[in-house]
Structure 1
Amino acid sequence: MAAGSIESRYGWGVALASMAMVTVGFGAMYLIVVGMLPISQEFGWPRGVPSLANGLVWMGAGVGGVIMGWWADRRGAAETSLVAGLALAAGCVMAGTMQGEGALYFSHAVLLGVFGNGALMAPLFANTTRWFDRNRGFALALTGSGQSVAGMVWPPLCRWLMDEYGWREVMIYYGAFSLATIVPLALVLRRQPPASPVEARPEGGPPLAAMTLLTGLGFGLSHVLLCGAIITCCVAMAMPIVHLMAHAVDLGFAPARGAEMLALLLACGFVSRLGFGVMADRIGGIRTILVGSVAQGLTLALFIWVDGLVGLYLAAALFGLAFGGLVTTYSFAAREVFPESQAGWRIGIILLSGTFGMAAGGYVGGFVFDMAGHYAVAFLTGVAFNLVNFAIMLFLLLRLRPSRPATA
C-alpha cells in the first residue's frame, strides 16, 4: 500500500467478508418474495399478507440500521454482525414453522429486519469506511455489491429449492446456513480499524474531515438534506425496478421478457456499483452522486418514450448502469462531512431514508398509473423527483465544499 495510507490487505479482507455477509442477509429478505405464492396458497391468504411481510422486513432493516449503527459506533461491527447471524437464523426458523400472520410479521419485521439486516448494512458500511482512505469508495461499493449478488443468486436458486423441497424446509435450512456463515465471518471484524490521520483531532478542535462542513451548514441541516436527497433519489429509482415487468406486459410483451429486462437492469447495477466506487475515490462522493443523478434522470426518461423490445432492453441496461452505485455513494458522502465517531448512526438514518424512498417510489408509481392509465406519467413523475434530488445535491456541493479525496 502507498506510504502514509491506512489501507492494508486485512482491510480488503474485511470488505470481502462484509460483502459476503450482506449477500447472505439479503438472501433472507428474498425468501418471502420467492415463497409468496405457495405461502398464500397454503394458508388461503391474499397476497397482501406476504407482501406486507416483505414491506416490514425492509422497514425493519431501515429502523434497525439506526439502532445497530449506534451500537456499532460504540462496540464495533463484530458484535452487531454476531447479533445479525443469530437473528437471521431465528427469524428464518420462526418463519418456516409459523402457523399464523402474527409469527410471519414478527419474524420479518423484528428478527430478519431490525436485528437481522438492520445489524448488517449500516454497521458494515460504516466499518468499511474506517479501513480505507485512498480506495474508500471502491471498498464501499464492494461491500454493497452483496445486495446485487443476492438479487442475482438467491431468487432463482430458492425458487428451484422450494419447488423441490417446499418453502418451509428452505426457510429453516437457510436460517442454519445464515448462522453457519455469518458468525465465522463476523470474527474477521474483531480487529480494530487503524487510526485514520484524516480523522485526527487538533487540540480542542473538531475532526479535520468535518472542518469544511462546520464552516458551511450545521450537522443537523446537512444530515436532513442528505436524507432528503436519498429519498427523492430512491423514489425515482424504484419506479422502473418495481414496475418494469408490468410496463413490458402492458406494451404487449410476454412476462418472461419483462423478467429478463429486470435481470439485465440488476446485473448492470452490479457493474455500476463498482464503477461508482472508483469514481467517488477520484472526484468525491457528492460530485459522484451529482453525476449519477443526471444519468439516472436521463435514463429514466427513456422509459417514457421507448416502447419497442430492443429499446426496452437497452433502456433497462442503461438505467442499471446509471443507478447501481448511488445508494452506497451516499454512505461515502456522509463520511466526507461527518466525523468517524458518528458514521454508524448517521449512515443508518440515511439508509433508513432510502428505504422510505424505495417504498414510496413503488407506491407512487402504481398510484399514478391507476390515475393516468399508463406508465408514461408515472415515469415522468420519477424524473421530477430526480430533478429535486439534483437540486439538493448541487446545493450541498456549493455550500459544504467537501475536501478532495486523498488521491487528488
Structure 2
Amino acid sequence: MQGSDIHDSSYSWTRLIITLIIATVANVGMWAVIIVMPAVEVEFNAGRAEASKPYTLTMIGFALGNLLIGRLVDRFGVTVALIGAALVSALAYLCAILSGSIFVLSLAHLLLGLGTAVGFGPLIADISHWFLRKRGIAVALVASGNYLSGAIWPTLLADILTADGWRHVYMILAIMTLAVVIPLSFLLRRRVPEDAHGKAQAAATLRARSTGFSPRTLQYLLGLAGIGCCVAMSMPQVHIVSYCVGLGYGPVVGAEMLSLMLLGGVVSRVLSGVLADKVGGVITLLVGSTLQCIALFLYLPYDGLVPLYVISLIFGLSQGGIVPSYALIVREYMPAKEAGARVGFVMMMTILGMALGGWMSGWIYDMTGSYQAAFLNGIVWNLMNMGIMVMLLLRGRPRQMVPA
C-alpha cells in the first residue's frame, strides 16, 4: 500500500479497533484509585485531602508519561512504548499492594500513572497518523478507551472490592494489563510511510499561519486552556464516589454514577469526533467546554439520589469531547512528525489540571465541609478555558476546514 493510500484504509480501521481495546485496558490505572479511595481513607485513617494524594500522584505520573512516552512513540514506534509501559504499570500495582502508608501508596501511584499514560496521548497521536478525512472520529474513539475503562472496570470490580479488598483488585489489574496489552501491541508494529505526511504538513502550515500565533505560543495557550477545563472536569469525576458516601448513598452508588458519567462521556466523544470532522477542533472544544460549564451549575442546587444520577449523565454527555479536541487542534496546526511530543505536552497539561483539581476539591471540602465551593471553583476555571477558545476563534480567519 502506497503512502497516499494508507489514510482511512481498511487497515486503518482494523488498527483503530486494536488500539481501542488496548486503551480500554491500559487506562484502568487512572481510575482504580478513585474506586478504592474510600477504603484507603478508612484503612489509613486519612482525611479527604490526604486520601486524594494517590490520585493526584497518579495524574502527575500520567501527565509526565503522556509527554515522555509521546516522544518515544515518535522515535521508536508505539509497540516498544506499549510493552515498556505495561511492565511499569504491573510493577506499580505490585508496589501499591505492598504499601503500608499513604506516602508509599502515593509513590506507587506516581509510577502507575507513568505506565498508564501510554493508553491515552501516545495512542491518540499514533492513530491520528492513519486517518485524514475521518481523523476526528478516529481520535475520539481511541480517546473513548479512557472513559470506557473508567465505565467498565469499576462496576465489574466493585463486588471484588467489597469482598476481598482493594489489594486483590490491584492484583487482578496487574495480571490483566500484562496479559492484554503486551500481546496486542505486536499487532501495531507497522508505521506510517514518510511520504504519507506531506498532505498533512501542508494543511497544518496553512492553518497555523491563519491564527497569527507561533506553534510554541499556540501550544502554551492550549496547555493553559487544558488546565482550566480539567480542573473543572475533575470535581465530579474524582470526587463523585466520596461525594455520594458523604451524602449517605454509599460507594456502590457513587461507582454507578461514575460509570454513568463516563459512558455518557463515550457518547459525547464519538459525537464530538463527528462534529470535529465538519467544523474543526477549536469549535468542537468550545461547544464541549460551554456544555460542561452548564452541567457543573446543575450540581449546585441538587443533591438528591435521582437528580444526581441524571446530572452525572448530563455531565458525561457534555464534557467527553473536550480533551480529544486538543489533540485534533494540535494535528490541525502543528507538524505531523512532532505529533507524539506536541499531543503529549497538551495532554500532560490537561492531566495536570485533573491532578490539581482533584487535590483542590479535596482541600476545599476539608476547609468548608461541603463540595459546593468546589463546584464553584470548577466553574471559574472552566470560564478561563472558554475565554481562550473564543480568543482563538476570533484570531483565526473564517475558512473551510480541511483535513490535516
Q: Distance in 1 between matches of 2:165 and 2:307?
A: 38
Is 1:387 aligned with 2:388?
no
Q: Distance in 1 between matches of 2:379 and 2:113?
A: 30
Q: Distance in 2 between matches of 1:160 and 1:125?
A: 32
Q: Give 1:372 deviation, angstroms.
A: 5.9
Q: Which residue of 1 aligns with 2:149?
A: 150
Q: Distance in 1 between matches of 2:366 and 2:103?
A: 31
Q: Which residue of 2 aligns with 1:10?
A: 11
Q: Give 1:336 deviation, angstroms.
A: 0.7
Q: Give 1:190 deviation, angstroms.
A: 0.7
Q: Distance in 1 between matches of 2:258 and 2:331?
A: 32
Q: Distance in 1 between matches of 2:175 and 2:372?
A: 45
Q: 2:314 aligns with which of 308, 315, 318?
A: 318
Q: Secondary structure at the match of 1:305?
A: coil
Deviation larger for 49-58 or 125-134: 49-58
Q: Give 1:367 deviation, angstroms.
A: 4.6
Aligned residues: 398
Q: Distance in 1 between matches of 2:357 and 2:198?
A: 36
Q: Give 1:15 deviation, angstroms.
A: 1.7
Which amino acid counterpart does residue 209 of structure 1 have in structure 2?
A
Is 1:213 aligned with 2:208?
yes
Is 1:67 aligned with 2:68?
yes
Q: Give 1:212 deviation, angstroms.
A: 2.6
Q: Give 1:133 deviation, angstroms.
A: 0.5
Deviation larger for 131-140 or 45-54: 45-54
Which amino acid counterpart does residue 216 of structure 2 have in structure 1?
G
Q: Distance in 2 between matches of 1:248 and 1:51?
A: 15
Q: Which residue of 2 aligns with 1:88?
A: 89
Alignment check: 8 A CA contact 2:332 2:403 kept: no
Q: Which residue of 1 aligns with 2:352?
A: 356
Alignment check: 8 A CA contact 2:56 2:359 kept: no
Q: Distance in 2 between matches of 1:199 and 1:268?
A: 36
Which amino acid counterpart does residue 214 of structure 1 have in structure 2?
R
Is 1:289 aligned with 2:285?
yes
Q: 1:223 aligns with which of 199, 219, 225?
A: 219
How has the CA–CA distance of structure 1 residues 403 and 25 changed in structure 2, closer, same or farther, with 3 Å as cutoff? Answer: farther
Is 1:46 aligned with 2:42?
no
How has the CA–CA distance of structure 1 residues 105 and 247 changed in structure 2, closer, same or farther, with 3 Å as cutoff? Answer: closer
How has the CA–CA distance of structure 1 residues 56 and 402 changed in structure 2, closer, same or farther, with 3 Å as cutoff? Answer: farther
Structure 2 unaligned segments of length 5 or more: list them: none
Q: Which residue of 2 aligns with 1:191?
A: 190
Q: Distance in 2 between matches of 1:214 and 1:20?
A: 37
How has the CA–CA distance of structure 1 residues 179 and 378 changed in structure 2, closer, same or farther, with 3 Å as cutoff? Answer: closer
Alignment check: 8 A CA contact 1:303 1:315 kept: yes
How has the CA–CA distance of structure 1 residues 153 and 348 changed in structure 2, closer, same or farther, with 3 Å as cutoff? Answer: same
How has the CA–CA distance of structure 1 residues 407 and 218 changed in structure 2, closer, same or farther, with 3 Å as cutoff? Answer: closer
How has the CA–CA distance of structure 1 residues 377 and 171 changed in structure 2, closer, same or farther, with 3 Å as cutoff? Answer: closer
Give per-residue Cα distances to partners, 1:197-243, cap 9 Å, x unaligned.
67348xxxx74412231351111111111011111111222223344
Q: Which residue of 2 aligns with 1:26?
A: 27
Q: Which residue of 2 aligns with 1:337?
A: 333
Give per-residue Cα distances to partners, 1:55-110, cap 9 Å, x unaligned.
22221111111111111111211211111122222222333345666764443223
Alignment check: 8 A CA contact 2:59 2:354 kept: no
Q: Which residue of 1 aligns with 2:138?
A: 139
Q: Distance in 2 between matches of 1:107 and 1:257?
A: 27
Q: Which residue of 1 aligns with 2:120?
A: 121
Give identity over the alignment, percent.
35
Deviation larger for 230-239 or 155-164: 155-164
Q: Secondary structure at the match of 1:132?
A: coil
Q: Distance in 1 between matches of 2:243 and 2:176?
A: 36
Q: Distance in 2 between matches of 1:397 and 1:197?
A: 29
Q: Distance in 1 between matches of 2:363 and 2:338?
A: 38
Q: Distance in 1 between matches of 2:127 and 2:100?
A: 39
Which amino acid counterpart does residue 189 of structure 1 have in structure 2?
L
Q: Distance in 1 between matches of 2:120 and 2:316?
A: 21
Is 1:182 aligned with 2:181?
yes
Q: Give 1:263 deviation, angstroms.
A: 3.4
Q: Distance in 1 between matches of 2:367 and 2:164?
A: 42
How has the CA–CA distance of structure 1 residues 49 and 69 changed in structure 2, closer, same or farther, with 3 Å as cutoff? Answer: same
Alignment check: 8 A CA contact 1:236 1:382 kept: yes
Q: Distance in 2 between matches of 1:150 and 1:278?
A: 22
Q: Give 1:365 deviation, angstroms.
A: 3.6
Is 1:159 aligned with 2:158?
yes
Alignment check: 8 A CA contact 1:130 1:194 kept: no
Q: Secondary structure at the match of 2:27?
A: helix
Alignment check: 8 A CA contact 2:273 2:321 kept: yes
Deviation larger for 312-321 or 145-154: 312-321
Q: Report the aligned-residue RMSD.
A: 3.1
How has the CA–CA distance of structure 1 residues 361 and 100 changed in structure 2, closer, same or farther, with 3 Å as cutoff? Answer: closer
Q: Which residue of 1 aligns with 2:249?
A: 254
Which amino acid counterpart does residue 188 of structure 1 have in structure 2?
L
Q: Distance in 1 between matches of 2:278 and 2:41?
A: 49
Give per-residue Cα distances to partners, 1:119-144, cap 9 Å, x unaligned.
33221110010001111111111111
